[in-house]
């Protein structure tokens, strides 16, 4: 495998080769609307409301000046798909063309027309956007790092990613096409490269062009509003409107989260083109799903004009880690999360009843007839398809299935009141896909409360317990308002000055904000009461370093390193202390311990390579650098190490 990382224009033409995936850098000619000069003075956090952008410039000067633009593009192509990725626009997938149907999987907006929607301002609707650690994030419309490579198995990949300047967190997305497959793999890695915890979420946001008769085909019976303030039925809402059909969305935007479903897929179907787009991810890894649409009221039509030059409409298929976009979690130092999502083009089936990595099936009743259609995502040799009525077979066929041909049958059914099952097995009798009409992995209706939801509210200050102050501060931290959170912890300590958890929370946040003297005061008090709390020891080490008490910091880090929860983070800090002291062998040992505890942490690997080189072990240092660069192709540090 050879990764290529280029930051200069290279124009290359390519023709797909059977059973071999091509990847190359070229250009995409796409008009764009110019912006005015960015504001170089973003508000400090204490003056910001809701969105915390410092030190990024603000991009709020949107103009109506349309210019032709040649964008750098990375192309990825096999027999079935041709995908384009734009590294100068946040690493967006611009689109993937299904070469069988000729239709784009994602919204190929014919111009980059911006509106003030993004975290920093400028944002445009097209393709697939990667949102971490916040929505429409700081680099959604900015250049990001990228690399691409062909692999020994014939596949090829494009990797895009970024380390943000607010938290120092990193996301990377590896997009892979494989020979003979219609599926685009999207492998996501989210990492906390920094030394302190930060809030995050992940939402994958795919824009798909729609028309009035397009259908949102999510396997759900209930949907939740933002903030989980209300649950409604789906697809027919309380007003009797079927919101799964675009032309019924007459009451403004539709922004709803799947509720009470544990299914792995979602999709959109277009009767107009007889095609669709499906998304698949294992529920255990990536459970949350959302649908977004501007709707078809007057405002919705205005947004079509604001975001496109051809008045085209789109919806967003969104997949995330948490139940909604008001929910964040903390990623601790040295922690990372990885999962894989899959994008599947659909054609000729009439809809999407189930999608997985084997293919897409659609079941539909037509006056005593069961119409069944199946798209294979790859060649399936000696496959067996059965249509079942309970344990009895209404149809049993064996043969080869290929993506180029849709398998279709219309079957006379013995009873309209019974449910029938599609079953697909591979050549070795392995079950590949099974779908019974209308049956999904749903929470029972009796367990779903429709209507307004009850949510907990922290009491007013005069009635708060220690736990209430702690919860309020944590909520503010999760919402990014760390200065308000610190004030909350401080006010809680005024009322409950000896509360252990408040001392710990205040001290940890003090250390995160580099208020080191205050951190030492709060954390040393908590540490005196519990010397086995690795989190306290770790952040106390950071605080001691900040006040230049290095020996005390070493003691604190060693204490934290003895327990698994902070072993990797503390060992890394110890390695850095020893490196500054010139004790390179000890630094190497600590970096090795850190990597043993967190093998997916890039930073420890980056630091180990030059330490080995400084110890005279040049070959070992280069080996580590090459191994880590193969796993983390966006690392500029390792690229420099290898020359």
Q: Do 337 and 372 sit in the same domain of this protein?
A: no
Picking from 317, 347, 377, the residue at the C-terminal end of a domain is 347
Given a cut of 70, whether residue 14 has pLDDT beyond it is no
Cross-strand pairs, 112: 32
Q: Do 422 and 561 sit in the same domain of this protein?
A: no
> Residue 260: which CATH number?
2.70.98.10
Phi-psi bin for 368: left (phi > 0), alpha (psi -120 to 50), beta? Answer: left
Tell me, yes or no, whether 8 lies in a domain.
Answer: no
- In the chain, DSSP finds a helix count (H) and a strand count (E) of 12, 35
Mean pLDDT of 494-508: 98
Q: Do 475 and 584 sit in the same domain of this protein?
A: yes
Rounded Cα gap, residues 103 and 208, in angstroms: 11
Q: Do 178 and 303 sit in the same domain of this protein?
A: yes
Given a cut of 60, whether residue 6 has pLDDT beyond it is no
How far lies 450's CA from each of 257, 278, 621, in Å? 14, 28, 59
Picking from 407, 430, 453, the residue at the C-terminal end of a domain is 430
Tell me, yes or no, whether 450 lies in a domain.
Answer: no
- The string of pLDDT tens digits covering residues 329-370 is 999 999 999 999 999 999 999 999 999 999 999 999 999 999
Other CB atoms within a 10 A radius of the CB of residue 127 amount to 28
Rounded Cα gap, residues 409 and 431, in angstroms: 20
Question: Residue 19's pLDDT is what?
Answer: 64
Mean pLDDT of 180-205: 98
Given a cut of 70, whether residue 17 has pLDDT beyond it is no
Torsion of CA 254, 259, 263, 267, to 10 degrees: 0
Q: Do 634 and 492 sit in the same domain of this protein?
A: yes
Rounded Cα gap, residues 465 and 319, in angstroms: 37
Question: Residue 11's pLDDT is what?
Answer: 30
Given a cut of 70, whether residue 1 has pLDDT beyond it is no
* 49 confidence band (pLDDT: 50, 70, 90): confident
Neighbouring residues of 497: CB distance < 8 A, sequence distance ≥ 6: none
Question: Residue 643's pLDDT is what?
Answer: 86
Side-chain half-sphere of 224: how many Cα atoms within 13 Å? 20
Tell me, yes or no, whether 441 lies in a domain.
Answer: no
Strand order in the sheet with 184-192: 2-4, 145-150, 156-163, 169-177, 184-192, 336-347, 275-280, 265-270, 215-217
- The string of pLDDT tens digits covering residues 159-176 is 999 999 999 999 999 999
Of 81, 71, 285, nearest to 176 (Cα)? 81
Pairing of β 222-224 and β 354-355: unpaired
Of 168, 13, 177, 205, nearest to 92 (Cα)? 205
Q: Do 568 and 630 sit in the same domain of this protein?
A: yes
Rounded Cα gap, residues 488 and 469, in angstroms: 7
Stated pTM of the model: 0.95
Q: Do 280 and 339 sit in the same domain of this protein?
A: yes
Mean pLDDT of 226-245: 98
Q: Do 343 and 376 sit in the same domain of this protein?
A: no
Rounded Cα gap, residues 294 and 410, in angstroms: 37
> Residue 473: which CATH number?
1.25.40.10
Q: For residue 425, report the phi and psi dihedrals to the nearest 5 degrees.
A: -125, 150
For the record, the structure tokens of 227 come out as: 């903030």
Mean pLDDT of 294-323: 98
Given a cut of 70, whether residue 487 has pLDDT beyond it is yes
Rounded Cα gap, residues 304 and 94, in angstroms: 18
Tell me, yes or no, whether 448 lies in a domain.
Answer: no
Mean pLDDT of 307-327: 98
Looking at the structure of the chain, the number of domains it has is 3
Rounded Cα gap, residues 600 and 568, in angstroms: 11
- The distance from CA 572 to its chain's CA centroid, rounded to whole angstroms, is 27
Rounded Cα gap, residues 167 and 521, in angstroms: 25
* Domain around 262: 20-347
Given a cut of 90, whether residue 466 has pLDDT beyond it is yes
How far lies 376's CA from each of 105, 362, 397, 450, in Å? 16, 12, 15, 38
31-58 b/e (C-beta count within 10 Å ≥ 16 → b): ebbebeebbeebeebeeeeebbbbebbb
Tell me, yes or no, whether 452 lies in a domain.
Answer: no
For the record, the structure tokens of 596 come out as: 């043993």
Picking from 347, 381, 407, the residue at the C-terminal end of a domain is 347
Q: Do 233 and 293 sit in the same domain of this protein?
A: yes
Given a cut of 60, whether residue 288 has pLDDT beyond it is yes
Mean pLDDT of 109-120: 97
Q: Do 310 and 376 sit in the same domain of this protein?
A: no
Q: Do 129 and 218 sit in the same domain of this protein?
A: yes
Q: Do 417 and 296 sit in the same domain of this protein?
A: no
pLDDT > 90: percent of the chain = 95
Tell me, yes or no, whether 166 lies in a domain.
Answer: yes
- The distance from CA 135 to its chain's CA centroid, rounded to whole angstroms, is 10
- The string of pLDDT tens digits covering residues 147-157 is 999 999 999 99
Q: For residue 498, report the phi and psi dihedrals to the nearest 5 degrees.
A: -105, 5
Tell me, yes or no, whether 4 lies in a domain.
Answer: no
Among 8-17, 159-168, 539-548, which is the least confidently predicted range?
8-17
Phi-psi bin for 420: left (phi > 0), alpha (psi -120 to 50), beta? Answer: beta
Tell me, yes or no, whether 446 lies in a domain.
Answer: no
Mean pLDDT of all residues belonging to the chain: 96
DSSP H/E element including 281: none
Of 130, 160, 164, nearest to 145 (Cα)? 160
Question: Residue 427's pLDDT is what?
Answer: 84
């Amino acid at each position: 495998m050879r990764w290529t990382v280029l930051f200069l224009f290279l124009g290359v033409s390519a023709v797909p080769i059977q059973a071999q995936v091509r990847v190359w850098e070229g250009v995409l000619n796409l008009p764009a609307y110019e912006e005015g000069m960015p504001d170089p003075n973003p508000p400090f956090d204490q003056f910001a409301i809701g969105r915390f952008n410092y030190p990024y410039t603000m991009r709020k000067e949107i103009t109506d000046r349309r210019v032709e633009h040649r964008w750098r593009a990375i192309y990825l192509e096999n027999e079935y798909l041709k995908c384009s990725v734009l590294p100068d626009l946040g690493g967006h997938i611009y689109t993937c063309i299904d070469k069988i149907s000729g239709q784009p999987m994602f919204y190929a907006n014919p111009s980059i027309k911006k509106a003030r929607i993004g975290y920093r301002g400028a944002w445009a609707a097209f393709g697939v956007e990667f949102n971490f650690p916040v929505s429409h994030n700081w680099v959604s419309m900015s250049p990001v790092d990228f690399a691409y490579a062909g692999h020994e198995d014939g596949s090829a990949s494009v990797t895009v990613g970024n380390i943000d300047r607010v938290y120092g967190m990193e996301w990377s997305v590896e997009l892979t096409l494989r020979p003979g497959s219609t599926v685009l793999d999207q492998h996501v890695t989210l990492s906390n490269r920094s030394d302190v915890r930060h809030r995050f979420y992940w939402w994958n946001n795919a824009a798909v062009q729609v028309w009035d008769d397009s259908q949102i085909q999510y396997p759900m019976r209930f949907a939740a509003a933002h903030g989980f303030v209300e649950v409604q039925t789906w697809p027919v809402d309380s007003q009797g409107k079927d919101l799964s059909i675009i032309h019924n969305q007459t009451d403004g935007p539709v922004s709803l989260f799947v509720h009470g479903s544990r299914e792995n897929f979602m999709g959109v179907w277009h009767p107009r083109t007889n095609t669709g787009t499906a998304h698949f991810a294992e529920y255990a890894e990536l459970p949350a799903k959302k649908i977004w649409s501007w709707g078809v009221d007057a405002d919705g039509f205005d947004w079509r004009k604001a975001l496109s030059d051809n008045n085209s409409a789109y919806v967003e298929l969104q997949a995330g880690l948490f139940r909604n976009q008001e929910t964040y979690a903390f990623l601790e130092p040295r922690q990372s999360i990885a999962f894989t999502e899959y994008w599947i083009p659909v054609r000729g089936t009439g809809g999407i009843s189930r999608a997985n990595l084997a293919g897409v099936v659609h079941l539909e009743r037509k006056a005593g007839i069961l119409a069944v259609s199946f798209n294979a995502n790859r060649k399936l040799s000696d496959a067996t398809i059965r249509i079942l009525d309970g344990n009895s077979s209404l149809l049993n066929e064996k043969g080869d299935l290929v993506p180029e041909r849709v398998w279709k049958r219309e079957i006379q059914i013995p009873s309209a009141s019974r449910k029938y099952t599609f079953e697909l097995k591979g050549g070795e009798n392995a079950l590949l896909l099974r779908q019974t009409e209308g049956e999904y992995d749903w929470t029972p209706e009796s367990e779903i409360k429709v209507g307004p939801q009850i949510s907990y509210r922290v009491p007013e200050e005069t009635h708060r317990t220690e736990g209430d102050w702690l919860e309020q501060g944590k909520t503010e931290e999760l919402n990014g308002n760390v200065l308000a959170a610190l004030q909350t912890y401080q006010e809680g300590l005024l009322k409950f000055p000896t509360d252990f958890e408040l001392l710990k929370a205040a001290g940890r946040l003090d250390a995160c904000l580099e208020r080191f003297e205050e951190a030492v005061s709060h954390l040393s008090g908590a540490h005196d009461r519990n010397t086995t709390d690795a989190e306290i020891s770790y952040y106390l080490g950071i605080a001691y370093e900040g006040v230049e008490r290095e020996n005390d910091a070493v003691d604190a880090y060693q204490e934290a390193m003895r327990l698994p929860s902070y072993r990797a983070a503390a060992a890394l800090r110890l390695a850095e202390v020893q490196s500054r002291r010139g004790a390179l062998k000890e630094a190497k040992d600590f970096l090795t311990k850190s990597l043993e505890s967190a093998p997916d942490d890039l930073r420890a690997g980056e630091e180990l390579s030059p330490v080995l080189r400084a110890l005279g072990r040049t070959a070992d240092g280069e080996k580590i650098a090459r191994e880590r660069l193969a796993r983390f192709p966006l690392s500029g540090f390792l690229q420099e190490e290898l020359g």
